[in-house]
Amino acid sequence: MTRPIVAVLSSVHPAFDSRIFFKQCRSLARAGYEVELIVPHEASQMRDGVRILGLPVPASRTQRMFRTPFQVYRAALRSGATVCHFHDPELIPIGLLLKLRGRHVIYDVHDNLASDILGHKPYIPALARWPLSIGARIFERLAALIFDRVVAATPAIAAGFAKHNTTLVQNYPILAPGELADDDYERRPPWALFAGMISAARGIREMIEAVALVRGAGSMRLKVAGTFSPASLLQEMSALPGWRNLDFLGQQSREQVDRLMTQCRLGLVLYHPDRSHDQAQPNKLFEYMSMGLPVIASNFPLWRDIVEKTGSGLVVDPLDPHAIAVAIERLLANPREARTMGRNGWEAVRTMFNWDVEAAKLLSLYRTLIPGVVG
């Protein structure tokens, strides 16, 4: 029997995005689908049973918004895919065109689009944000009714779409095989970790200011892995006094980040409060937990509920560098307590917050679109 072809589409995300490639694409390939990941990338290649079709990497935001989507569209048609599963709001018009061409279309929603326009799109003029936010939300909801399925990354996102065609597939980490390797935890150097997109809204200033306030901060290091957004933020942050306690590592591979998590003593997830963050479930929070790292997280009610109920770390006001510093001092000064928190987080991921559970939901969804084939 010919294997059904699935085209996974993105004009924004990197080829090896954690949710798109490592979780969804590999799960679909293992289930027997022929998976083609169509994404801007330096070169086409095969990896883990997934065919990556590399499109030209856009040189500007304008190219990414107006040229890349049509390159994605043409490649999706050429793929002969039965199902087209796309991951960016910019591709909604492309999803509608693919639906008109007879494809099954899935819209994977990672973030709250309307809130992002209001708070996380600095290139949009302030006066235009509210009307654009309202218009984008209406357009997104209407388009979602036309698509075969909507996949939502969090319960808050799922609540914004029609129940009849929305599936919640949360962004929990992939379970590592075997037991937690943390025998060396109390001997690790006093390092804290932040990994991911680096921005003001994700608390980079407060983290840098906090490490400057940590008592005995001379030996304490903040390891930061990722890219600054916007790029000009790097120069601004490097002028802060706490920068001398920071090691900026740049963009790191999945394997490099995993290795960092086995070397550090705690992980930071200190997003600022706003409409899109309060109900988010950041992948990084659960990844830290999955590697046995105690976390220091923003004190949003949802995050507090996760962290305190599992006993996996501490929550603080993300806008208060002093409170962040006190939390860091507590975990560094009490390695046994910190190790226990890390183990609690690892156990919570092993039993509740893991990708195996979510992959089953994704494959069940695909069986409704292509019944009786694979998955």
Note the pLDDT tens digit of each residue in 88-132: 999 999 999 999 999 999 999 998 877 777 766 666 777 777 888
CATH number at residue 45: 3.40.50.2000
Quick check: 327 and 192 in contact, CB under 8 A? Answer: no
* 374 within domain boundaries: no
Please state the separation of Cα 72 from the chain's center in Å: 22
* 180 within domain boundaries: no
Same-domain check for residues 364 and 315:
no
Quick check: 282 and 269 in contact, CB under 8 A? Answer: yes
* 64 within domain boundaries: yes
d(CA 166, CA 158): 7
Determine the pLDDT at residue 113. 79
Band (pLDDT 50/70/90 cuts) for residue 367 is very high
* 96 within domain boundaries: yes
Same-domain check for residues 345 and 230:
yes
Same-domain check for residues 20 and 132:
yes
Quick check: 57 and 42 in contact, CB under 8 A? Answer: yes
Domain count, the chain: 2
| Residue 159: pLDDT over 80 | yes
* 235 within domain boundaries: yes
Six-digit token pair at 212?
């400057």
d(CA 185, CA 174): 22
Determine the pLDDT at residue 282. 85
Q: What percent of the chain has pLDDT over 70?
A: 96
Which of 286, 205, 295, 194 minimizes the C-alpha distance to 243? 205
Six-digit token pair at 52?
């990556």
Query: Whole-number mean pLDDT of the chain?
Result: 93
Same-domain check for residues 147 and 278:
no
Determine the pLDDT at residue 375. 52
d(CA 259, CA 272): 27
Same-domain check for residues 26 and 148:
yes
What confidence tens digit (pLDDT) does each residue in 198-249 have? Answer: 999 999 999 999 999 998 756 899 999 999 989 999 999 999 999 999 999 9
Same-domain check for residues 358 and 248:
no
Same-domain check for residues 45 and 71:
yes
Its domain, for residue 217, covers 185-351
User: Which DSSP category does 93 fall into?
Assistant: H
Determine the pLDDT at residue 218. 66
Determine the pLDDT at residue 57. 95
| Residue 347: pLDDT over 70 | yes
d(CA 109, CA 274): 18
Quick check: 80 and 102 in contact, CB under 8 A? Answer: no
d(CA 212, CA 206): 10
Same-domain check for residues 23 and 124:
yes
Same-domain check for residues 88 and 17:
yes
* 33 within domain boundaries: yes
Determine the pLDDT at residue 120. 62
Quick check: 25 and 50 in contact, CB under 8 A? Answer: yes
- The mean pLDDT value for 343-370 works out to 95
Determine the pLDDT at residue 374. 55
* 198 within domain boundaries: yes
- The mean pLDDT value for 27-44 works out to 96
Same-domain check for residues 106 and 119:
yes
Q: Could you tell me whether strands 295-298 and 313-316 are parallel, antiparallel, or unpaired per DSSP bridges?
A: parallel
Same-domain check for residues 332 and 199:
yes
Same-domain check for residues 151 and 234:
no
d(CA 218, CA 231): 28
d(CA 344, CA 124): 42
* 178 within domain boundaries: no
pTM: 0.82
Quick check: 292 and 182 in contact, CB under 8 A? Answer: yes
The one-letter code for the residue type at 150 is: V
What confidence tens digit (pLDDT) does each residue in 289-334 have? Answer: 999 999 999 999 999 999 999 999 999 999 999 999 999 999 999 9
